């Protein structure tokens, strides 16, 4: 028989080992992934918010909380994408610690370890913790609302209903997909209310607290969406944002109904297999509890809610993983038996170790080994790869070789998205909306006919060489650099990167 002291030492060692892995996966080599277009949007809008020029756009901006965060990161640390990603990783650790704090008293040592491993080593949680986008801030708000709900259920804290409503509003002020989480929680609550023993928590409510929550929540929504009342019309627009996103859903990112199920099966199989196996054992041993029912129904309804929406992006997956991980942890804890039936515990432990070891390997491959890989069911989306890095390195080398006033001037021709704006900030860049500036050493051509651009440049009296790079791989979108011929010849002669040989990607066009 293992003594309590030995068991405690094993638990402490296991917990520290888990935390080491969790921190490693979130902070190691944050530059492994190429910057993507949504991260560029975050950096750009953060600067605009500091400048006082950002305004809520119900068509494609989500709520402002993320942009307040990006403006803080930008203002304090500059526009380094590695620092920005580190900030988002910190947010992911904060909500993770809050979940452990919330459920630590309700779980025994094995359940605590499974909770830490399930949410900490999940590939989706890790991948998007290393991505400078909305999702982990949204999960932080979700966890905050969950804490408030637990405070009402466990302690009947009179402040909990108001706090819950305020946190729900902050979820919406981060991202309109809060509506899907609200719907999943609402349907779950209604189903559980059919059992009379749950009705006390739902109907014996502190309505004064509810009223305070609504008033404060609406004030916060108005203040944040209007950027503290600088743009009063944004308050009404904040209510129609989901309708505008529904319009976008008809044209963008349509994926099949089973898309999120496929992601869970391929990347989150430790939790998925664990949920099915533990759910079957719970039924056999009749160990279902109200909290287990809630987590199971939340997982089921949120997965179906996201699946019914035609517009699907992989970064929504943490919203499915959160309740799934909670269910697995509490199911494992419920099935953990006393020492006298230790063989069952050994089997449970062995299964958990195998599954979470495999899950850690998947998280490492997805986030660090192959973070730019773009396949139909990969987490990377709207993503470039080494070709965009070559694009940036080429601009840096041309700037170094340019003999005029530094930084090198260039002009963007065609479209300018937020990412391209961020990538060209180190240079004196002119936008396509400005008058054409003839005779510049470099032009960047994006979503504009390259032959038309070359003709326009030749009319300025100088020859230009075109090099082409893959800008967003999964959409097949390319971008061109047009470099003045003499500058390009210096680049070919003095830099001589191995990858710039004619015929390779990027393609160097000498024929024009």
Whether the CB-CB separation of 250 and 310 falls below 8 Å is answered with yes
Q: In angstroms, rounded to a whole number, what is the distance separating the alpha carbons of residues 347 and 345?
A: 5
> Which of the 8 DSSP states describes residue 335?
H
At a CB cut-off of 8 Å and minimum separation 6, what does 468 contact?
450, 478, 479, 480, 506, 507, 509
Q: In angstroms, rounded to a whole number, what is the distance separating the alpha carbons of residues 6 and 12?
A: 10
Whether the CB-CB separation of 325 and 112 falls below 8 Å is answered with no
Q: In angstroms, rounded to a whole number, what is the distance separating the alpha carbons of residues 209 and 312?
A: 36
Residue 367, beta-bridge partner list: none
Q: Which helix (H) or strand (E) holds 410?
A: strand 409-414
Which 3 state secondary structure label does DSSP give 443?
strand
Residue 508, beta-bridge partner list: 467
At a CB cut-off of 8 Å and minimum separation 6, what does 335 contact?
278, 281, 282, 285, 287, 344, 348
Whether the CB-CB separation of 397 and 382 falls below 8 Å is answered with no
Q: How many CA atoms lie within 13 A of 329 on its CB side?
A: 26
pLDDT (tens digit per residue) in 138-163:
999 999 999 999 999 999 999 999 99
Report phi then psi at 269, rounded to 5.
Answer: -60, -30
Whether the CB-CB separation of 172 and 221 falls below 8 Å is answered with yes
Q: Which helix (H) or strand (E) holds 4?
A: helix 4-27
Q: Where does residue 499 rank: exposed (0-12), middle (13-18), buried (19+ CB within 10 A)?
A: exposed
Average pLDDT value for the chain: 89
Distance set, CA 284 to CA 174, 278, 468 (Å): 41, 10, 61
**How far apart, in Å, do the first and last CA atoms of the chain sit?**
81
Whether the CB-CB separation of 123 and 355 falls below 8 Å is answered with no
Confirm whether pTM is higher than 0.85: yes
Give the pLDDT score at 504.
39
Residue 469, token pair as written in the block: 């790079």
Q: In angstroms, rounded to a whole number, what is the distance separating the alpha carbons of residues 395 and 389?
A: 10
pLDDT (tens digit per residue) in 58-111:
887 788 999 999 999 999 998 899 999 999 999 999 999 999 999 999 999 999
Give the pLDDT score at 250.
64
Q: In angstroms, rounded to a whole number, what is the distance separating the alpha carbons of residues 148 and 135?
A: 20
Give the pLDDT score at 53.
92
Residue 46, token pair as written in the block: 């953060």
Whether the CB-CB separation of 267 and 370 falls below 8 Å is answered with no
**Cα-Cα-Cα-Cα dihedral of 286, 291, 293, 295, to 10°?**
-130
Give the pLDDT score at 119.
97
Q: In angstroms, rounded to a whole number, what is the distance separating the alpha carbons of residues 40 and 423?
A: 8
Nearest residue to 424 via CA among 14, 13, 40 = 40
Length of the chain: 512
Instruction: Report the chain (512 residues): mean pLDDT per 10 consecutive residues.
Output: 71 92 96 91 92 88 92 91 96 98 95 96 97 96 97 92 97 94 94 70 79 97 95 92 74 85 96 96 90 96 94 94 98 80 81 93 95 89 86 93 94 91 93 90 92 84 87 87 91 68 42 33
Q: Which residues of 366-397 are buried (b: 16+ CB within 10 A; e: fewer)?
A: bbbebbbebeeebbbbbbbbebbebbeebbeb
Q: In angstroms, rounded to a whole number, what is the distance separating the alpha carbons of residues 429 and 412?
A: 7
Q: How many CB atoms lie within 10 A of CB 500?
A: 16
Q: In angstroms, rounded to a whole number, what is the distance separating the alpha carbons of residues 332 and 274?
A: 9
Q: In angstroms, rounded to a whole number, what is the distance separating the alpha carbons of residues 155 and 323?
A: 22
Pairing of strands 442-446, 409-414: parallel
HEC profile of 470-511: EEEHHHCEEEEEEEEHHHHHHHHHHCCCHHHCCCCCCEEECC
Distance set, CA 483 to CA 15, 44, 464, 488, 489 (Å): 55, 26, 5, 6, 9
């Amino acid at each position: 028989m293992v003594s309590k002291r030995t068991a405690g030492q094993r638990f402490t060692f296991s917990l520290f080992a888990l935390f080491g892995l969790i921190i490693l996966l979130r902070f190691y080599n944050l530059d492994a992934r190429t910057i993507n277009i949504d991260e560029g949007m975050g950096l750009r809008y953060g600067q605009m918010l500091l400048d006082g020029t950002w305004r809520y756009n119900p068509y494609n901006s989500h709520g402002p909380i993320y942009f307040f965060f990006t403006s803080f990161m930008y203002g304090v640390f500059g526009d380094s994408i590695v620092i920005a990603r580190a900030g988002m990783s910190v947010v992911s650790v904060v909500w993770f610690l809050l979940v452990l704090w919330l459920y630590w008293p309700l779980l025994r040592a094995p359940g605590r370890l499974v909770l830490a491993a399930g949410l900490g080593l999940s590939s989706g949680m890790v991948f998007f913790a290393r991505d400078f986008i909305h999702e982990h801030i949204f999960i932080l708000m979700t966890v905050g609302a969950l804490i408030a709900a637990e405070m009402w259920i466990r302690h009947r804290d009179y402040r909990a209903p108001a706090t819950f409503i305020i946190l729900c509003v902050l979820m919406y002020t981060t991202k309109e997909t809060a509506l899907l989480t609200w719907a999943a929680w609402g349907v779950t609550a209604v189903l559980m209310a059919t059992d009379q023993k749950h009705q006390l928590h739902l109907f014996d409510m502190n309505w004064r607290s509810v009223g305070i929550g609504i008033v404060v929540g609406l004030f916060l929504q108005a203040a944040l969406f209007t950027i503290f009342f600088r743009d009063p019309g944004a308050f009404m627009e904040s209510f129609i944002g989901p309708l505008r996103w529904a319009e976008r859903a008809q044209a963008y990112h349509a994926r099949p109904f089973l898309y999120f199920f496929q992601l869970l099966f391929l990347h989150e199989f430790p939790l998925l297999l664990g949920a099915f196996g533990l759910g079957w054992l719970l039924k056999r041993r009749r160990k279902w509890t109200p909290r287990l029912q809630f987590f199971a129904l939340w997982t089921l309804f949120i997965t179906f809610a996201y699946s019914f929406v035609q517009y699907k992006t992989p970064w929504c997956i943490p919203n499915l993983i959160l309740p799934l991980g909670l269910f697995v942890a509490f199911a494992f804890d419920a099935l953990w038996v006393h020492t006298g039936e230790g063989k069952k515990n050994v089997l449970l432990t062995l299964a958990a170790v195998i599954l979470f070891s495999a899950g850690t390997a998947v998280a490492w491959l997805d986030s660090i080994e192959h973070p730019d890989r773009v396949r139909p069911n990969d987490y990377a989306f709207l993503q470039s790869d080494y070709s965009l890095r070559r694009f940036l390195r080429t601009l840096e080398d041309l700037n170094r070789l340019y003999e005029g006033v530094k930084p090198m001037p260039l002009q963007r021709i065609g479209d300018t998205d937020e990412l391209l704006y961020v990538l060209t900030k180190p240079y004196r860049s002119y936008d396509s909306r400005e008058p054409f500036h003839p005779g510049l050493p470099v032009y960047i051509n994006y979503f504009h006919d390259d032959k038309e651009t070359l003709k326009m440049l030749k009319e300025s009296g100088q020859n230009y060489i075109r090099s082409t790079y893959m800008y967003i791989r999964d959409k097949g979108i390319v971008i061109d650099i047009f470099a003045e011929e003499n500058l390009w010849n210096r680049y070919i002669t003095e830099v001589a990167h191995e990858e710039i040989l004619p015929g390779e990607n990027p393609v160097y066009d000498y024929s024009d």
